[in-house]
Amino acid sequence: MLYLSLEDTQRRIKDRLYNLTDSAPDNLYFAVTSGLIGGGLEEQITDFLTEHSATKLVIIDTLQKVRDSKGSAGKAGMYGNDYDDISSIKRIADSFNIAILLVHHLRKLQDSDDPFNDVSGSTGIIGAADTNFILRRKRSGNAATLLVSGRDVEYQELTLQFNDLVWELVERKNSEDIHKAELPKFLFWVVDFIWITSPRSPRQM
């Protein structure tokens, strides 16, 4: 695995790593600097994957650190540039048959209708990615909700608990579970009542 921890220092990475384990695996690589998308990043990742062919995961933390903020508008507009940037990274993932995880920020103002609109930037970011995750967590709490949506995965809401530096799965809800939870309980009572009080057919008598 290659982890581009672009908002950290090597000392901070080392401290966090040894909080998790006393012996780091030798197939885990870190970097605190990299090129930008369209400015050397793709070549750097490709060279690493060519040299380390067993790599299955690359994490870029954060996406904004590898984007050219000066050219965020351009002729293609915000949506076009967002889509092109994510697509450039996705081509590497598809070519090497690996997963590339892009860590990105959310807007401070949340959208109650569609949580995936909370992603900072245009909808081109979530439109180009195969799968999107939204982690909602209060700063002072150890509980969080992870929302999952993608082309090849069913929409899910995962309830997580942070214990001893590890996120643990508490509950998983799929689309059907969520829709049932949204229905008023009295509707289920009405259905049960109708079923119990409905007249029996001649065959049942």
Q: Which of 141, 153, 146, 41 is nearest to 86 (CA)?
A: 41
Mean pLDDT score, 112-125: 83
Measured CA distances, 73 to 1, 19, 36, 78, 93 (Å): 33, 41, 16, 5, 25
For the chain, give the mean pLDDT: 86
Q: What strands, in cross-sheet order, belong to the sheet with 29-31?
A: 29-31, 2-5, 57-61, 99-103
Burial class (CB in 10 A: 0-12, 13-18, 19+), 5: buried
Q: Express as a percent the part of the chain with pLDDT over 90.
A: 59
pLDDT at 162 over 70: yes
Model pLDDT for residues 94-110, shown as the tens digit of each residue: 999 999 999 998 887 77
pLDDT range class, residue 13, cuts 50, 70, 90: very high
- Maximal CA-CA distance, the chain: 80
pLDDT at 197 over 80: no
Hey, what are 39's tokens? 């400015």
Q: What local confidence, expressed as pLDDT, does residue 188 receive?
A: 55
Q: What local confidence, expressed as pLDDT, does residue 88 receive?
A: 97
Mean pLDDT score, 164-171: 91
